[in-house]
Amino acid sequence: VLAHAASDFFERASPAPSPEQAELRDGLLDDPAHIDPKYLYDALGSSLFTAITLLPEYYPTRCEAEIFLRHGQDIARHVGPVQSMIDLGAGDCVKAERLFARLRPTHYIPIDISADYLQTAVERLRLSYPELNVTPVGQDFSQVLALPAGVPEAQRLFFYPGSSIGNLSPEDAHAMLQRIRAQCEGGGLLLGVDRVKPKQVLEPAYDDALHLTAAFNLNLLRHVNTVLDADFDVADWRHVAHFNSARSRVEMHLEALRAVRVCWPGGEREFRAGERIHTENSYKFTPQAFSDLLQSAGFHDIAHWSDSRGWFSVFSARA
Ligand code: AVI
């Protein structure tokens, strides 16, 4: 009875960590420390990202919109008929909505890690497009890509805009493209990709004069405090972003301004002044490198269009 009572006590005192808590703890104890970029997107983080897309320095969103505006007809011709449009990381669903008139899907399946954010957008869409069959899915599709029952198998188009694929490691991007391909045999993929360019353009896009990207990065620590019950103080950290040209990626880090000890239930980590936590990679591609990646994941009939400055590309490929 005593042994039972004791184990009961310890279970209540330190319950087993959730998978998210275990992932965060392991990343913080690693050398160098890292935190998965998905923790950038709590409610405030998602709003900050929307604000970032309006910054003069953050060109990708405007470049992609320009491509759809200038080349929409060609793109729609290459994509062909669409029954179901599956929107990966749909957010406010605005990017897909702009393509409805051209692609004319009958089913729209927006998938996003933040189900709450999606719900508001879906209510709006149902009012504006009463004919469209809308099935929202709250899912972290970086791990599994499970479509709800009832999504027609023919003429599926996966839509993955914004160069979100660039936030995955090359291995994870390849695996993700393979998972997508397996789900749209006979259909296709339409996605946005940010291109390699001088660091004088890349770095301000990730370190803007209004410090919105700094707030976006620092806010991740508050999200971690909530999930892990940790005691990060954002005032102890500063945002750092730089282009790592050898690895063709912009990296975001948080750098300790002074020696800091961070504690959470069952653990702690000390950081020296100047020590960093790696929080995001944003890979930049040449059109050739991205075509090769699509081909190696099994896609064919690959086409791409660019904005007038050649800063961003939209790819269409068949599965
Ligand atoms: C969502 N993702 C494509 C953005 C990017 O450009 O890598 C996230 C971001 N990070 C800092 N600014 C924007």
* Distance separating alpha carbons of residues 53 and 50, to the nearest angstrom: 5
- Its pTM surpasses 0.90: yes
Q: How far is the CA of 282 from the centre of ligand 1 (A)?
A: 7
Task: Please tell me the residue having the least CA distance from ligand 1 atom 3.
Answer: 164
Give pLDDT tens digits for 261-317.
999 999 999 999 999 999 999 999 999 999 999 999 999 999 999 999 999 999 999
Give pLDDT tens digits for 230-241.
999 999 999 999
Alpha-carbon Rg of the chain, whole angstroms? 21
Q: Residue 22: its pLDDT value, please?
A: 97
Q: Are 33 and 27 in contact (CB under 8 A)?
A: yes
Q: Residue 57: its pLDDT value, please?
A: 98
Atom of ligand 1 nearest to the CA of 60: 6
The answer, yes or no, to whether ipTM is higher than 0.90 is yes
Q: Residue 273: its pLDDT value, please?
A: 98
Q: What are residue 34's phi and psi, to 5 degrees? A: -145, 155
The SS3 call for residue 173 is helix
The total number of residues shown for the chain amounts to 319
Give pLDDT tens digits for 91-113.
889 999 999 999 999 999 999 98
Report the residue among 39, 165, 206 best suited for mutation to probe ligand 1: largest number of ligand atoms under 8 A from its CB: 206
Please report the sign of the dihedral spanned by the C-alpha atoms of residue 244, residue 35, residue 239, residue 267. negative
> How many CA atoms are closer than 13 Å to the CA of 227, on its beta-carbon side?
21
Q: Residue 142: its pLDDT value, please?
A: 83
* Distance separating alpha carbons of residues 163 and 307, to the nearest angstrom: 14
Q: Residue 253: its pLDDT value, please?
A: 99
Q: Which residues of the chain have pLDDT under 70?
A: 1-14
Q: Which residue, 184, 94, 102, 105, is CA-closest to 145? A: 184
Q: Residue 156: its pLDDT value, please?
A: 97
Q: How far is the CA of 310 from the centre of ligand 1 (A)?
A: 19
Atom of ligand 1 nearest to the CA of 216: 11
How distant is the alpha carbon of residue 154 from its chain centre?
27
* Distance separating alpha carbons of residues 141 and 159, to the nearest angstrom: 13
The SS3 call for residue 77 is helix
